[in-house]
Chain A
Amino acid sequence: GAVVSQHPSRVICKSGTSVKIECRSLDFQATTMFWYRQFPKKSLMLMATSNEGSKATYEQGVEKDKFLINHASLTLSTLTVTSAHPEDNSFYICSARKTSGDYNEQFFGPGTRLTVL
């Protein structure tokens, strides 16, 4: 199989604090990981594409200084939401692309629900 874990699954923090979310591919190596944000009843919105050992590529409108991404190894990528505010309340989902196989499928982590008070 191809399992992706995320930690924490749920986080509640005070406004102005920073939150780090980890995404791990447990049984495969992922040179590329993706970070998505999903607001209630909305589709997934790609925030950034993270390649191991290089800087992340951010989608238009996503502040790279606010959403820090580090892809330090082939199995771990982290997203840090700096100075979080209530407008950052969302479901954050990572996915990892398995480069072997027929169609480079993306496997999703279980998501992290962020609530900023």
Chain B
Amino acid sequence: GQNIDQPTEMTATEGAIVQINCTYQTSGFNGLFWYQQHAGEAPTFLSYNVLDGLEEKGRFSSFLSRSKGYSYLLLKELQMKDSASYLCAVRDSNYQLIWGAGTKLIIKP
């Protein structure tokens, strides 16, 4: 079966750095996405990785290792507004997005 695993919840301090991990087992791979979702709102796109390595976009970076079926989202200089759920999604061989359950990130002052 297809499976995306990420931690259920994480807590971090304002101004710090946090890394959210995602491991996946899917039928085929056509890219990995990270989305941010605030409570009661739709997901918003953060990053996309299809080749191994690190993609940096401002305070957010995303890393992919296809051989390990592993990705992480790195958030630097955390702000209170970063409190949200972070969803990892993998596009499989049928170009369908397979979603993780999301990681709820709690930022404390």
Contacts and interface: CB of A to CB of B under 8 A. Distances in A.
B48 A44 contact: no
A35 interface: no
Interface string B17-46: 000000000000001010000001111110
A44 B50 contact: no
A7 interface: no
B74 to A, nearest CB: 20
Nearest to A32: B95
Contacts, number: 38
Contact of B97 (A46, A109, A111): A46
Contact of B100 (A43, A45, A46, A49): A43
B44 A108 contact: yes
Contact-size category for B:
10 to 19
Contacts of A67: none
B42 A111 contact: yes
Nearest to B94: A49
Given A46-B96, A46-B97, A108 B42 contact: yes
Interface string B72-103: 00000000000000010000000111011110
A43 B42 contact: no
A111 B99 contact: no
B94 to A, nearest CB: 10
Contact of A109 (B31, B42, B45): B42
B50 A103 contact: yes
Contact of A113 (B40, B43, B95): B40
A43 B102 contact: yes
22 contacts: A34-B97, A43-B87, A43-B99, A43-B101, A44-B87, A45-B99, A46-B96, A46-B99, A49-B96, A103-B48, A103-B50, A105-B45, A105-B48, A106-B97, A107-B45, A108-B43, A109-B42, A110-B41, A110-B42, A111-B40, A111-B41, A113-B40
Interface of B: 31, 33, 40-45, 48, 50, 87, 95-97, 99-102
